[in-house]
Amino acid sequence: MKVERSRQGDYAVIRLRGALALGEATQTLAEELGHAEKEATGGTAVDLSELRSLDSTALGLLVGSLRRLRASGRELTLVSPNESVAMLLRMTQLDTVFPIRRTLAEALDVLKHEGGKKGDGTLQRL
């Protein structure tokens, strides 16, 4: 599992690759989300396009980060989950909590225009 954080303009982008499970990978995700939350401006896009799977701990980290970002008037979007991850988001009803978009460009547009709004249930089948 690999976690990378970068900036695109005012926004943090976190890319997840591989399979996310307990241990060092979730600790790395927690650290990168924490760094993104401490940024002075902008929301965070989490790119799931190369993520094969994630566990309940990772889901909890994403929900916690979303809550903290929204408390500061910012947003967290999810990008391009595969069918397995998308099914998990639907089963846990987190697809109604997170804005979820097919592309990073769409996610950044959400961050630009929808800071602080709840998810819109637009998880689309990929």
- Over its C-alpha atoms, the chain yields an Rg (Å, rounded) of 13
In order along the chain (126 residues), what is the average pLDDT of each group of 10 residues?
91 92 83 93 95 91 96 96 95 96 96 61 41
For residues 59 and 91, is the Cβ–Cβ distance under 8 A?
A: no
HEC string of 91-110 equals: HCCHHHCCCEECCHHHHHHH
Q: What confidence score (pLDDT) does residue 1 get?
A: 78
pTM over 0.85: yes
Q: What confidence score (pLDDT) does residue 116 get?
A: 40
Could you tell me the two tokens for 33? 């989300």
Q: What confidence score (pLDDT) does residue 62 get?
A: 97
Burial class (CB in 10 A: 0-12, 13-18, 19+), 98: buried
Q: Which domains does the chain possess?
A: 2-113 (3.30.750.24)
Q: What confidence score (pLDDT) does residue 115 get?
A: 52
For residues 54 and 85, is the Cβ–Cβ distance under 8 A?
A: yes
Q: What does 30-91 look like in DSSP terms, one character per residue?
A: HHHHHHHHHSSS--EEEEEEEEEE--HHHHHHHHHHHHHHHHTT--EEEE---HHHHHHHHH
